[in-house]
Structure 1
Amino acid sequence: MRQESASPTRHLRVRRDRGYTVLEFRGEIDIAAAAEIAPRLDQETRRPGARVVLDLSGIEFFDCSGLRLLYRARRQALDQGGQVHLVCAHPLTLRMLRITGLAGLLPPSPTLEEALGVTRSAARRTGR
């Protein structure tokens, strides 16, 4: 069941979908956008047992500030016993993820549906 939420910033929309918090990044994710996104990202990923999907399908540009946000979200959620999954099909962003090694830590799914399917399978394997 999808539950819509207001946009906390022009670069981020947060909503609930099938028990997961979906953080949809939008537009150009640079240092200024990252500063806007970080407080809400922290709020969602620092909750104990957070189940988060980071959706990059709406991005037009993504720099190292965005990579730091992804790593930060992963680290914070895992520290709280949560899960983080990534949706990304943007070729240049996928290349950055591979070059930096972040794709190995946070493997991207091409669609939200696939990411939600992966999270359900992973949840069954880990007993969450």
Structure 2
Amino acid sequence: MKQAGGDGVVRHQPAPPTRYLRVHQDRGHTVLEFRGEIDIAAEAEVVPHLDAATSDRECRIVLDLTRVEFLDASGLRLLYRARQRVLAQQGRLHLVCTHALTLRLLRITGLAGLLPPRPTLDAALEHPGTTPGPG
């Protein structure tokens, strides 16, 4: 949700948490913290929040999959959607993931090459911004 401050600058209000997603700010980045099973049911709930977070020019986004237990093709679509939207806005995108099966899925599909996963939120934010390339 966007709200104009007293200085006229539009600021994002943190989105209320959902069953599958918590959105918060950390060091100038919008962190989308995914939770649980990210499947087609989660996709429908997450898309509006993901689109809101990636709608600003030069947005700085972190997709944190640390609390994800399962990710299917719908989850991969969400990651790719975020990448495409951030690319269109000339923003920066980071991915945090440590779950072995999810990392394997990212490697098999080639998404790990487009969005290199980092092991922690700190590691993602310390890395010089990843600007997704075309692909």
Question: TM-score scaled to structure 2, two decimals?
Answer: 0.83
Other-structure match for 2:71:
62
| Counterpart residue number, 2:89 | 80
8 Å Cα contact 1:34/1:65 also seen in 2: yes
- For the 8 Å contact 1:50–1:82, the answer to whether it is kept is yes
Greater than 4 Å deviation, 4+ residue runs: none
8 Å Cα contact 1:8-1:40 kept in structure 2: no
1:89-125 Cα deviation digits (max 9, x unpaired): 000000000000000000000110100101xx238xx
Which has the higher Rg, Structure 1 or Structure 2?
A: 2
Aligned pairs, how many? 118
> Which residue number in structure 2 is paired with residue 46 of structure 1?
55
In structure 1, which of residues 101, 109, 122 is the aligned counterpart of residue 129 of structure 2? 122
Q: Please, which of 69, 78, 103 is the counterpart of residue 94 of structure 1?
A: 103
1:11 corresponds to? 20
Give the secondary-structure state (helix, strand or coil) at the position aligned to 2:76: helix
Residues 55-110 of structure 1, C-alpha deviation per residue, up to 9 Å, x if partnerless? 00011111110000000001101101101110000000000000000000000001
- Name the one with the larger helix percent: 1
Listed as ranges, the gaps of 5+ residues in structure 1 are 124-128
Q: Secondary structure at the match of 2:129?
A: helix
**Alpha-carbon separation, structure 2, partners of 1:88 and 1:7:** 23
Identity among equivalent pairs (%) = 64
